[in-house]
Amino acid sequence: GDSVTQMEGPVTLSEEAFLTINCTYTATGYPSLFWYVQYPGEGLQLLLKATKADDKGSNKGFEATYRKETTSFHLEKGSVQVSDSAVYFCALTPGGAQKLVFGQGTRLTINP
């Protein structure tokens, strides 16, 4: 079945460091790919998405590129801030379906 595998956390970085959170997927058809973020004490928010191969989603300085050849959707940010501390979830919707399949989440902590 469809699945998402995320880089295991927790991840701790210093402010202004470069961030990569790896995400790979297994899916039939042509899934859409998403990154959701959950800040402390808040709900899930859509961070960015990509709906077809080679699309790049971007938001708040974060980027992820839909790589069909490597079945990956890695999240990157060039310079992280303390306010980026949160849990990040990679997810997909299988082609033609509306059901989100999530990875296990990666807790990110940024120290000043």
Residue 7 interacting with another protein (CB under 8 A): no
Residue 52 interacting with another protein (CB under 8 A): yes
Of residues 9-38, those binding another protein (CB under 8 A): 30, 32, 36
Contact call for residues 55 and 65 (beta carbons, < 8 A): yes
Residue 99 interacting with another protein (CB under 8 A): yes
Residue 57 interacting with another protein (CB under 8 A): no
Nearer to another protein, 86 or 103 (CB): 103
CA–CA distance, 111 with 108 (Å, rounded to integer): 10
Measured from the CB of residue 110, what is the shortest distance to another protein in angstroms? 20
Residue 45 interacting with another protein (CB under 8 A): yes
| One of 35, 47, 49, 86 touching another protein (CB under 8 A) | 49
What does the binding site for another protein look like in residue numbers (CB under 8 A)? 30, 32, 36, 42-46, 49, 51-52, 89, 91, 93, 95-96, 98-105
